[in-house]
Structure 1
Amino acid sequence: MRFTNDGLTFAADDSGAGGDAIVLLHGFPQDRAAWAGVAPLLAAQGLRVLVPELRGYTPDSPGKREAYTLDALTTDVLALADQAGLDRFHLAGHDWGAALAFHVAGRHPNRVRTLTAFSVPHRGAWARPGLRQLRRSAYVGLFQLPVLPELVLTPRLLRRRLRRSGLDESHAHRYAEARSRRALNWYRAMRLDSEFPRVAVPTLFAWGDGDEYVTERLARRCGEWVDGEYTFEILRGVRHWIPEMHPRRAAELVLSRCH
């Protein structure tokens, strides 16, 4: 299906039918193919599964960082839900998609039934990251600079970096070649996001102990921002790319929250 918001047109995969609906949000530098192994498993269990291509990854994506605040991105998710005829829906996200999912659930608890987040915790948890986390997040400062990241982050470099962080060759090649460079504005807009709402809906956060981007200390702090029922799952021996590399486990975790 296609949906529109803020003068932009987005593509979304729409599969399954008959039961509750779930929206799956991808991160950077992913696209909706990140959930390709998970969506059929959820649909087979009776869920309607919607997987949008997010702002920054579509041909008509805006160039200004102001268009990529979490509040602005939240309106895209709600536009998808509205145009798909969803009053309430389950929500899951990975990486930046997880950060956005926390924000959507915090801002609009009346729309979100449950939340499942993978790899990246609530943005509020980053207020006191610690030295180890700052070292792991050094690339974020680079990504916030104008122009330079687009020049430095060549397809070859990005593919190599994704492979080193545990992603398989097919996904690494796809993401590197997509050149969704306007999505770097998600990082640049971090300076404009000042409020991170607390989350009241039932929430599960899953983090792999082999994740090279997020420390365990930061992952454990996620629960401090959730007021509703909360579950924290540590996936032993698992790295950052949970939906791509462990789709069955990801689907099981989503279903444990939805059912």
Structure 2
Amino acid sequence: MGIRFFAALVLVAAAAAGAARAEDTRAFSFIEANGVELAYLEEGTGPLVVLLHGYPETARGWKQVQAKLAAAGYRVVAPNMRGYAPSGFAPDEDYTVGTLGADALALIEALGESKAVVVGHDWGATAAMSAAVTDPDTVVGLVSLTIPHPMATEPSLSLFLNAPHFIYYQFPWASWMVARNDFAHIDGIVEAWAPTFDVDRRDTTAVKESLAVEGGVEGVLGYYWSISADPTPGTQRADKDTRFAMPSLVIAGADDGALDIELFEAGKDGFTGPYTYVELEGVGHFPQVEAPDDVAAALLTFLGSIEPWGDATPFPVQ
């Protein structure tokens, strides 16, 4: 009986791990936005919520959070950002932050909407902030996962020690380094940035497929290569002097291996409107994947606090 019980536990654990890593077979839709064709996943109807992924992630990383928001009465759209196949590459190699924000605003317009809450993780959070500072009338709510206000992320030794990839991605061999050994570098990044994340729940398949497309590595690394580039004319990016007056939510993982958790406290004064900070214990740099239930709950509470926007009213938060 003891052996049978142990075997049953093993089978249950294996099934749970398999479910957590189950392939996302949803088909992408495509839309033209800001001169680039964006692939996106859409669920639900109601006020628009846009989910912008970071690195190394794709739109599929939002799967569980997206489903919960859609079930609560929101139209939830998660695009693959420019440079992440099957979305298009920047025709002029423009991956500057201002342009990423312009992509988000153009996507909202292309979807036939005039207002949205924009949620971003990592690079997606930086893009969300850019969209918010560019057009605060369109971005009625701002959510940043794992990225503090820019006033807290001025270049410093500690910042680069926690995120040395900002430096070594500038080297000529960066593309080779990322691609070698079936993109093992990506697995190393996830392990370093989310050290408490259960290894059986990690799944980098989607981003590796995106990188494996011809030009895919260069498209993704283009974000880092554009850091020192001049802003594209007509675009804006948030900086240390930016103040966000719209309702804002910041979610951080207490065990984030990519940056110091103290930075979030240092950046809180950059949010002058209604502001909520949520710190998740035992969570690293990928809260939407590591703790989707907690992230969805925080988002639903936040969304419910904003004056309704769009053509439909969401269901009340239970």
TM-score normalized by the length of structure 2: 0.74
Q: For residues 206-221 of structure 1, what are the structure 2 equivalents within 5 Å?
A: 206-221=251-266
**5+ long unaligned stretches in structure 1:** none
Equivalent residue for 1:9?
A: 37
2:178 is aligned, of 147, 153, 156, to 153
1:141 is aligned, of 142, 167, 183, to 167
Q: For residues 36-115 of structure 1, what are the structure 2 equivalents within 5 Å?
A: 36-59=63-86, 60-62=88-90, 65=93, 67-115=94-142
CA deviation vs aligned residue, 1:211-254 (integer Å, no higher than 9, x gap): 01010222222213222111222211111111111111111111
Q: For residues 30-41 of structure 1, what are the structure 2 equivalents within 5 Å?
A: 30-41=57-68
- One-letter code of the match for 1:200? A
Q: For residues 164-243 of structure 1, what are the structure 2 equivalents within 5 Å?
A: 164-166=192-194, 168=199, 170-179=202-211, 180-181=216-217, 182-192=219-229, 196=238, 197-243=242-288
CA deviation vs aligned residue, 1:104-136 (integer Å, no higher than 9, x gap): 11221100111111111233321164x433311
Tell me the CA shift for residue 7 of structure 1: 3.3
Mapped contact 1:116–1:257 kept (Cα < 8 A): no
Helix, strand or coil: the match of 1:109? coil
Mapped contact 2:133–2:244 kept (Cα < 8 A): yes
Mapped contact 1:159–1:175 kept (Cα < 8 A): no
Distance in 2 separating the partners of 1:11 and 1:156: 25
- One-letter code of the match for 2:49? I
Distance in 2 separating the partners of 1:116 and 1:28: 17
Distance in 2 separating the partners of 1:22 and 1:175: 22
Tell me the CA shift for residue 47 of structure 1: 0.6
Tell me the CA shift for residue 103 of structure 1: 1.5
RMSD: 2.0
> Cα distance 1:163–1:174, how it changes in 2: closer, same or farther (>3 A)?
farther
Tell me the CA shift for residue 96 of structure 1: 0.8
Distance in 1 separating the partners of 2:209 and 2:192: 17
Task: Report the count of equivalent residues.
Answer: 255
Mapped contact 1:159–1:173 kept (Cα < 8 A): no
Mapped contact 2:52–2:78 kept (Cα < 8 A): yes
The runs of at least 4 consecutive aligned structure 1 residues that moved more than 4 Å come to 167-170
